[in-house]
C-alpha cells in the first residue's frame, strides 16, 4: 500500500467528531508515528510503499482511535511545552491548557533555589518541565496513585531531572515552607463526567472527578496553603470553566489574595495565582 492510499484509508476509517475534527490530519499523524517518520516526509513522498509491519500497526491504531482511544495512548507519548512525556492509561494525558499553568509559574519572581511542590503530579509533566527550566529549584511532587508515580519517575529520569516523588493525599505530611505550590487537581463536577468527549473516558476517573461542584480537592488544598507557603511564596492552580470566582472566595476565606487570573486561548479563566496576604 502506498502512503497516499494509507492516508485515504485512515480518513475513511476515522469518524469526524469533537475529538477528531480533521480525520485526514489525524490519519497522517498516526501513520507518521506508526512508521517513525515525519508528516512532512509523508507529504513529500506520497507514492512510497509502506512496510507490512507499519501497515499492520497503523490499521490497529486506526481501529482503536475510531473507538475513542486517545492518540497519545496508542503512541505512549505526549508532547508538553516542547518535551516528550511517556503516558499510559494510569495518568491523565497532559493537556495544552496545563502549559499555561507552567508558563504562569515560570513568570513568578522566585529565588533561584526555590522549594516547589507539585500536588497531583500525574505524568509529572508540570514538575519535570519546571525542573528542566529552573535547574536550581528543589522540587517535590505528590500523587495518590502509585501507578501514576511510576510514569512520573520514568519521565523525570528520561529528562534527567531530580524530583522527590511521594505517594500521598494532597500536601498532607509535607513540611513547610514552600516558595511555590502548583496543582492541576481533578476539577470536573461529577455530574459533568458523562458529557465529556469519548477520549476523556480513557483518562483515570481519579484524575478528573472533583466532586459535586468540582472543587472538593481544590478546596482542601487551598485551605492548607497558608500553612504550606512562605509569606512571599505563591500557588498556581489550574481550574475549570466558571470556577475562578468561587476559588477566589475560598482563597479569601483562607487568608490568601489573588495575584493573577489568566485566561486560556478559549477565553476560560484557566489558571489562578494565589499568595499569602
Ligand atoms: C488532573 S490530573 C493532573 C495530572 C498532571 N499534574 C497534569 O497536569 O497533567 C490530577 C492528578 O491528581 C491526582 N490526585 C487525585 N486525588 C489526589 C489526592 N487526594 N492526593 C494526591 N493526588 C491526587 C490524580 O491521581 C491525578 O494524577
Question: Which phi-psi region, left, alpha or beta, contains residue 61 (left: φ > 0; alpha: ψ -120 to 50)?
Answer: alpha
pTM (whole model) above 0.75: yes
pLDDT at 129: 98
For a mutational test of ligand 1's pocket, the pick from 150, 155, 185, 215, i.e. the residue with the most ligand atoms closer than 8 A to its C-beta, is 185
For a mutational test of ligand 1's pocket, the pick from 78, 119, 125, 207, i.e. the residue with the most ligand atoms closer than 8 A to its C-beta, is 207
Asked whether 221 and 156 are in contact (CB, 8 A), the reply is no
Query: How far apart are alpha carbons 268 and 211 in whole angstroms?
Result: 20
Asked whether 6 and 23 are in contact (CB, 8 A), the reply is no
pLDDT at 219: 98
Asked whether 94 and 80 are in contact (CB, 8 A), the reply is yes
Handedness of CA 106, 107, 111, 112 (dihedral sign): positive
Cα of 15 from ligand 1 centre, angstroms: 31
Q: In terms of Cα–Cα distance, which of 102, 124, 123, 223 is closest to 172?
A: 223
Non-local (6+) Cβ contacts of 202 within 8 A are 68, 69, 70, 73, 89
Atom 27 of ligand 1: nearest residue by CA position: 122
Cell 495565582 found at: 273
Q: How confident is the model at residue 145 (pLDDT cuts 50, 70, 90)?
A: very high
Domain 81-276 has CATH 3.40.80.10: no
Q: How confident is the model at residue 112 (pLDDT cuts 50, 70, 90)?
A: very high
Ligand 1 atom index nearest CA of 148: 27
Query: How far apart are alpha carbons 4 and 49 in whole angstroms?
Result: 9
Handedness of CA 29, 41, 10, 56 (dihedral sign): negative
pLDDT at 19: 87
Convert the pLDDT of each residue in 14-51 to its tens digit: 999 988 999 999 999 999 999 999 999 999 999 999 99
Q: Which three cell numbers stand for residue 264?
A: 486560556
Query: How far apart are alpha carbons 269 and 242 in whole angstroms?
Result: 7
Q: Which three cell numbers stand for residue 133?
A: 527550566
Mean of pLDDT values over 140-169? 98
pLDDT at 108: 97
Query: Average pLDDT of the chain?
Result: 97
Cα of 185 from ligand 1 centre, angstroms: 5
pLDDT at 20: 93
Q: What are phi and psi of 139, to 5 degrees?
A: -115, 135
On the 0-12 / 13-18 / 19+ scale of CB atoms within 10 A, 205 is exposed
Convert the pLDDT of each residue in 177-220 to its tens digit: 999 999 999 999 999 999 999 999 999 999 999 999 999 999 99
Convert the pLDDT of each residue in 212-251 to its tens digit: 999 999 999 999 999 999 999 999 999 999 999 999 999 9
Q: Which residues pair with 254 in a beta bridge?
A: none
Ligand 1 within 6 A of CB of 184: yes
Cα of 186 from ligand 1 centre, angstroms: 6
Cell 458523562 found at: 194
pLDDT at 214: 98
pLDDT at 18: 87
Domain spans in the chain, listed from the N-terminal domain onward: 3-67, 81-276
Q: Decide: helix, strand or coil at residue 122.
A: coil
Cell 531530580 found at: 162
Q: Decide: helix, strand or coil at residue 16.
A: coil
Amino acid at each position: 500500500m502506498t502512503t497516499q492510499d494509507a492516508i485515504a484509508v485512515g480518513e475513511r476509517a476515522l469518524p469526524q467528531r469533537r475529538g477528531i475534527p480533521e480525520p485526514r490530519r489525524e490519519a497522517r499523524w498516526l501513520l507518521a508515528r506508526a512508521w517513525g517518520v515525519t508528516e512532512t516526509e509523508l507529504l513529500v513522498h506520497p507514492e512510497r510503499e509502506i512496510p507490512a509491519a507499519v501497515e499492520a500497526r497503523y490499521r490497529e491504531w486506526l481501529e482503536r482511535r475510531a473507538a475513542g482511544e486517545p492518540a497519545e495512548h496508542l503512541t505512549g507519548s505526549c508532547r508538553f511545552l516542547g518535551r516528550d512525556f511517556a503516558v499510559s492509561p494510569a495518568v491523565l494525558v497532559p493537556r495544552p491548557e496545563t502549559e499555561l499553568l507552567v508558563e504562569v509559574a515560570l513568570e513568578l519572581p522566585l529565588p533561584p533555589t526555590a522549594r516547589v511542590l507539585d500536588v497531583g503530579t500525574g505524568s509529572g509533566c508540570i514538575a519535570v518541565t519546571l525542573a528542566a527550566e529552573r535547574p536550581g529549584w528543589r522540587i517535590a511532587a505528590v500523587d495518590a496513585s502509585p501507578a501514576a508515580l511510576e510514569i512520573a519517575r520514568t519521565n523525570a529520569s528520561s529528562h534527567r531531572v531530580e524530583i522527590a516523588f511521594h505517594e500521598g493525599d494532597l500536601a498532607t505530611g509535607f513540611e513547610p515552607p514552600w516558595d511555590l505550590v502548583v496543582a492541576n487537581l481533578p476539577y470536573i463536577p461529577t455530574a459533568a463526567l458523562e458529557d465529556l468527549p469519548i477520549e476523556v473516558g480513557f483518562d483515570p476517573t481519579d484524575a478528573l472527578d472533583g466532586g459535586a461542584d468540582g472543587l472538593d480537592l481544590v478546596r482542601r488544598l487551598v485551605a492548607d496553603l497558608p500553612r504550606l507557603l512562605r509569606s512571599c511564596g505563591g500557588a498556581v492552580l489550574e481550574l475549570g470553566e466558571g470556577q475562578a470566582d468561587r476559588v477566589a472566595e475560598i482563597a479569601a476565606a483562607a487568608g490568601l489574595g489573588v495575584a493573577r487570573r489568566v485566561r486560556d486561548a478559549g477565553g476560560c479563566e484557566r489558571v489562578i495565582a494565589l499568595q499569602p496576604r
